[in-house]
Amino acid sequence: MVETGSSIPRRQLGRYLRQARDEAGVTLEAAAQELEWSRAKMYRIEGGQAPVRKHDVLAMCSVYGASPELTEALVALSLESKSRGWWHAYGDVIPAWFELFVGLEAAASHLRQFELALIPGLLQTPEYAAAIFRTRKGISEQEVEQAVALRMERKRLLTRARPKAPNLEIMLDEAVLHRQVPDREAMRAQLAHLVNNARVTGVRVRVLPSNAGAFASVAGSFVIMEFPPVGTRQTEPPTVYIEGLTGALYLDKPAEVATYADQWEMLSERALSTRESEDLIAMVIKESYDE
């Protein structure tokens, strides 16, 4: 069974603390000043990207005038958030801001990913992943091995039985198929792996062809995550993940998620079908690697 670790309760705690602050009519700046914290610390806590000590929860609840019952519940959630997920074993190879994504990814029931630059991590082969990681300046071979091991561990969620494996929809810009890594055989094997995974139940791979044209509103790469309910209660709101070089954005406001869902639908209308995408990938393999 894949662990979801600390990410989910930590994110829930941040959201509840933000709600408590809003209901108390306290601005983020005022709360930070009263608690003698930086705005950055407040953002990290409310965004679920930092662990929160019991003492900090008590201090925040005091500032917000939270009820004893709510305070007790949030303290309990802070203790639960300290549990460690499997990914902590990979140490410094995983940035703190990426830990949240790994936990959310493991908890998701539906993942939709649009990618402009690379084969998505969940469909990468070890050789392709290693070639990508080696492009990072100053990375050691030991760090490459750790990063690849983490990526392969993440892939286990696609074949797990409990909880049920998420549905995965991948949409690739055609340029990704032609962006080679130094090891040509690794690239060929990666493309073949992409075709094979496209035939796996619960996984759908489509390609946005180069002749689809330009789009005024096209976004960069993004992932839309949806989560299963627990009974009749939704534990996590749909979330959009956008990764940068030094951090990431987690968008969960309904209007923000709707904007990216509309973007997905617009791109989907112009993408090839799964069968057409499979044929295109096979053609790239034949023309570029079967010499």
- Each residue's pLDDT, cut to its tens digit, for the chain (291 residues) gives 333 445 667 888 888 899 899 999 999 999 999 999 999 999 989 988 777 889 999 999 999 999 988 888 888 878 777 665 555 555 555 666 677 788 888 888 999 999 999 999 999 999 999 999 999 899 999 999 989 998 999 999 999 888 889 999 999 999 999 999 988 999 999 999 999 988 888 999 999 999 887 765 566 899 999 988 755 556 688 999 998 877 788 888 899 999 999 999 999 999 999 999 999 999 999 998 876
Same domain, 269 and 248: yes
- Residue 218 domain-assigned (yes or no): yes
Q: Structural domain tally of the chain?
A: 2
Q: Decide: 181 and 131 in contact? Cβ < 8 Å.
A: yes
Range of the domain at 26: 7-80
> What is the pLDDT at residue 208?
96
Same domain, 36 and 107: no
Look at the block and give the residue holding tokens 């930086």. Answer: 38
Q: Decide: 104 and 239 in contact? Cβ < 8 Å.
A: yes
Q: Where does residue 202 fall: left (phi above 0), alpha (psi -120 to 50 degrees), or beta otherwise?
A: left
φ, ψ (nearest 5 deg) of residue 84: -100, 130
- Residue 85 domain-assigned (yes or no): no
> What is the pLDDT at residue 275?
95
**Pure H helices in 88-198:** 96-107, 126-133, 141-154, 175-178, 184-198
> What is the pLDDT at residue 58?
95
| Burial of 268: CB neighbours in 10 Å, binned 0-12, 13-18, 19+ | middle
**CA separation for the pair 180, 220 (Å, rounded):** 20
Q: Which two tokens stand for residue 249?
A: 């954005």
- Give Dmax over CA atoms of the chain in angstroms: 72
Q: What is the CATH number of the domain that holds 145?
A: 3.30.870
* Number of CB atoms found within 10 A of residue 209's CB: 15
- Residue 2 domain-assigned (yes or no): no
Q: Decide: 207 and 272 in contact? Cβ < 8 Å.
A: yes
Residues 6+ apart with CB under 8 A from 223: 101, 105, 111, 112, 113, 114, 240, 241, 242
Same domain, 202 and 267: yes
Q: Decide: 207 and 174 in contact? Cβ < 8 Å.
A: yes
Q: Decide: 23 and 66 in contact? Cβ < 8 Å.
A: no
Q: What is the reported pTM?
A: 0.75
Same domain, 70 and 134: no
Same domain, 119 and 76: no
- Residue 23 domain-assigned (yes or no): yes
Same domain, 168 and 69: no
> What is the pLDDT at residue 177?
96
> What is the pLDDT at residue 5?
43
